[in-house]
Amino acid sequence: MEKKVAIIGVGQSTFVRQYPGSIRELAFDGFKDCLLDAGITAKDIGASVVCSAPEYDKQRSPAGVFAEYLGLNPQPTFYVESLCSSSTTGIRLAYSLVKSGLHDVVAVLGFQKMSEISSSESQERMGRGADIQWESPFGTMMPAYYAMYARAHMEKYGTTPDDLALIRVKAATYGQINDRAVYRKPVTFEMFKDPENIMGRPVATPLRVGDCCANADGSSCIIVASAEKAKSFCKKPVWIMGLGSATTSVNLAGRDLFSGLSAAQDAARQAYEMAGVTPKDIDVAEVHDCFTIAEMMAYENLGFAEPGEGKELIRGKETYKDGSIPVNVDGGLLSKGHPIGATGGSQVRTIVLQLRDEAGDIQVKDPEIGLVHNIGGVGLYGNVTILGR
């Protein structure tokens, strides 16, 4: 692999249900954490990319506000959004800026303060991530969309609600030991069977409360640098080996696959080809588990299992830390929470720490190559990022 662009710093705020400060203070939490990790100052950064989904707070053009507050002026700043995959889209932009030679060091800052609006308002905003003419006016919501995918997967492959519950149990196993996660309580399989327990209550059949991630406030920051700068600033640079991105029809009526996400499949194929690796070479992965069915489909869309066989991975605990392909050993979105614009950066942070052998209690043994799968909307956007030591 030709080493051209590296990640030299990662940071993340603690994800919380309700952050007490402003969005600029929230952004600072992740930014400060990242600068300390990289061992650099704001003056070393040549450009910044701010990533979020709009309409969750009142501030328009937050990139300019953050550049001023974080001491990044007069360097250029950019704002990008691709719904829940915004911060990995930002990393793709940062990679391009560095690879082109326009900038040597670029900070990618993802954030979301979802608590500024009510839950019903938040659901309405999420619904508008679909087509506002042909779908969202009819009341479609994220759980209902993914419930359709879950039903299709179950009908085609015999996947069961119990298989999905096993994914949530795994998420909670690691979420309990992630001090940056919203949900740090144990979840057992039996909770899904207990009629008095909230985990098994239906949301959109066959998905239950325990199958769904929840909103959160949080920020993340990733610093991307050229090879020359990476080697001068950083003792353990992590190299960007492959990037894949794809989109698909925003309307579900325009899709022909409902047991997987075609954008994820296309993005994975691109990333593997660019990196010169195969799914068998991946030692640890972070996938976009906004719902348990999303993680199940990711196993198959990324080539970790054949279509319909993802359930065998979770049944055999192959996606646990000591399994053949550890997935979401930081608890995933199901435990960490999902502050939309910050999520992809948080996933990248986890993989970078894994590849630097700095992941603590969730450290996978001697990983060389890691993968991040980040989805925007209901499979509308797909980003896959492959990182290596």
What pLDDT does residue 130 have? 79
The per-residue pLDDT for range 96-113, each reduced to its tens digit, is 999 999 999 999 999 999
Segment 156-184 mean pLDDT: 97
Evaluate the CA torsion angle 234, 238, 242, 247 in order and state its sign.
Answer: negative
Identify whether 237 is part of a domain.
yes
With residues binned 3-state (H G I as helix, E B as strand, rest as coil), the percentages for the chain, rounded to 5, are 40, 20, 40
Least confident of 223-227, 253-257, 349-353: 253-257
What is the rounded average pLDDT of the residues 9-37?
98
Mean pLDDT of 257-269: 97
Question: Is 367 inside a domain boundary?
Answer: yes
CATH, residue 384: 3.40.47.10
The whole-angstrom separation of Cα 352 and Cα 282 is 13
223-243 burial, b at 16+ Cβ within 10 Å, e below that, comes to: bbbbbebbeebbeebbbbbbb
pLDDT of residue 52: 96
Question: Is 288 tagged catalytic?
Answer: no
Tell me how far apart the alpha carbons of residues 104 and 236 are, in angstroms, rounded to a whole number.
Answer: 17
Q: Over the stretch 52-106, which tens digit does the pLDDT of each residue have?
A: 998 888 888 999 999 999 999 999 999 999 999 999 999 999 999 999 999 999 9
Q: Of the given ranges (131-145, 175-189, 215-229, 339-353), which has the lowest mean pLDDT?
A: 131-145
φ/ψ bin of 61: left (φ > 0), alpha (ψ from -120 to 50), beta (otherwise)? left
The residue among 148, 125, 149 whose CA lies nearest residue 136 is 125
Catalytic residue among 103, 153, 338, 373: 338
pLDDT bin (cut points 50, 70, 90) of residue 139 is confident
**Residue 109: what pLDDT?**
98
Q: What is the pLDDT of residues 266-323, one digit of tens each?
A: 999 999 999 999 999 999 999 999 999 999 999 999 999 999 999 999 999 999 999 9
Least confidently predicted of 28-42, 59-73, 130-144, 151-165: 130-144
CA-to-CA distance for 261 and 248, rounded, in angstroms? Answer: 9
CA separation for the pair 268, 282 (Å, rounded): 12
- 103 catalytic? Reply is no
Structure tokens at 201: 């209550």
Residue 129 lies in a domain: no
pLDDT value of position 43: 97
**pLDDT at res. 60:** 87
Asked if residue 14 has pLDDT above 90, the reply is: yes
Q: What are phi and psi of 122, to 5 degrees?
A: -65, -45
**Residue 339 belongs to some domain of the structure:** yes
The mean pLDDT value for 349-372 works out to 98
The CA–CA distances, whole Å, from 312 to 258, 300, 319, 327 equal 20, 11, 10, 14
Asked if 326 contacts 313 with a C-beta cutoff of 8 angstroms, the reply is no
**What proportion of the chain, given as a percentage, has pLDDT over 70?**
99
From the list 84, 212, 213, 221, the catalytic residue is 84
10-32 exposure pattern, b = at least 16 Cβ within 10 A, e = fewer? bbbbbbbeebeeebbebbbbbbe
Whether residue 322 is contained in a domain is answered as: yes
131 vs 84, more confident? 84
Give the pLDDT of residue 2. Answer: 65
Phi, psi at residue 226, to the nearest 5°?
-70, 165
Both tokens assigned to 151: 């039903």
Looking at the domain assignment, is residue 125 inside a domain? no
Q: Is residue 173 part of a domain?
A: no
In a domain, 51, yes or no: yes
Mean pLDDT of 326-338: 98
Q: What is the pLDDT of residues 179-230, one digit of tens each?
A: 999 999 999 999 999 999 999 999 999 999 999 998 999 999 999 999 999 9
Strands (E), the chain: 5-12, 47-51, 77-80, 105-113, 202-204, 207-208, 217-226, 238-247, 284-286, 369-376, 381-388
Which of the four pLDDT bands, split at 50, 70 and 90, describes residue 363? very high
Domain of residue 92 covers 5-118+215-388
Residue position matching structure tokens 């990008």? 80
Q: pTM above 0.95?
A: yes
- Is the pLDDT confidence value at 1 over 70? no
Q: State the total domains in the chain.
A: 1
The DSSP result for 70-93, as a single string, is: TT-TTS-EEEE-BTBTHHHHHHHH
